[in-house]
Amino acid sequence: MNLPKDLRYTKEHEWVRVKGAEAEVGVTDYAQGELGDVVFVELPQVGARVAQMKSFGTIDAVKTVGDLFAPVSGEVVAVNTDLKDDPSLVNQSPYEKGWMIRIKMTNPAETDALLDVNAYEKVLGAHA
Amino acid sequence: MLETTTPLKRTPFHSRHLAFGAKMVPFAGFEMPIQYEGIVAEHRAVRAGVGVFDVSHMGEIRLKGPGAVAYANRLVTNEVGAIPDGKAIYTPMCLESGGIVDDLLVYATGQERFLVVNASNFEKDIAWIRENAPADVTVVDENDATAQLAVQGPMAEEIVARVYGDRVRSLEFYTFLEFGSGDDWTLISRTGYTGEDGFEIYVRTPRAPEVWDRIFQAGRPALIRPVGLGARDTLRLEMGYCLYGNDIDESTNPLEAGIAWTVRMDKPEFHGKAALAQVRASGLGRKLVGLILDADRIARKGCEVTHQDSVIGVVTSGSMGISIGKPVAMAYVTSEHAAAGTRLDVRTRGHETPALVVPRPMYRMGSVRAPKPRRTE
Question: pLDDT 10s per residue in chain A (128 long)?
Answer: 899 999 999 999 999 999 999 999 999 999 999 999 999 999 999 999 999 999 999 999 998 899 999 999 999 999 999 999 999 999 999 999 999 999 999 999 999 999 999 999 999 987 65
Structure confidence at residue A88 (pLDDT): 95
Structure confidence at residue B223 (pLDDT): 79
Query: Going by CATH, does the domain composed of A8-127 fall within 2.40.50.100?
Result: yes
d(CA B289, CA B259): 11
Task: Let me know: does B72 contact B61? Beta carbons within 8 Å.
Answer: no
Burial class of residue A3, CB neighbours in 10 A (0-12, 13-18, 19+): middle
Distance from CA of B39 to the nearest CA of A (A): 7
Question: Quick one: CA dihedral B120, B152, B362, B285, positive or negative?
Answer: negative
**Helix ranges, chain A (H):** 29-35, 82-85, 89-92, 117-127
Chain B residue with CA closest to A35: the answer is B38
d(CA B254, CA B241): 12
Task: Let me know: does A65 contact A37? Beta carbons within 8 Å.
Answer: no
Residue B78 pLDDT greater than 50, yes or no: yes
Interface of B with A in 282-311 (CB under 8 A): 296-298, 300
Distance from CA of A19 to the nearest CA of B (A): 31
Domains of chain B (ranges; CATH) run 9-56+144-238 (3.30.1360.120), 59-141 (3.30.70.1400), 260-358 (2.40.30.110)
Q: Could you tell me the pLDDT band of residue B5, with boundaries at 50, 70 and 90?
A: low
Distance from CA of A126 to the nearest CA of B (A): 18
| B33 interface with A at CB cutoff 8 Å | no
- Condensed to tens digits (0 to 9), the pLDDT of residues B273-288 reads 999 999 999 999 999 9
Residues of B in contact with A58 (CB under 8 A): 349
Structure confidence at residue A1 (pLDDT): 87
| A36 interface with B at CB cutoff 8 Å | yes
Which residue would you say has higher pLDDT here, B366 or A25?
A25
Provide the whole-model pTM: 0.92
Cis bond before residue B361 (omega within 30° of 0): yes
- Condensed to tens digits (0 to 9), the pLDDT of residues B198-216 reads 999 999 999 999 999 999 9
| B35 interface with A at CB cutoff 8 Å | yes
Of B230, B296, B322, the CB nearest to A63: B230
- Say whether the ipTM exceeds 0.85: no
d(CA B227, CA B193): 13
Residue B376 pLDDT greater than 70, yes or no: no
**Where along chain A do its domains lie?**
8-127
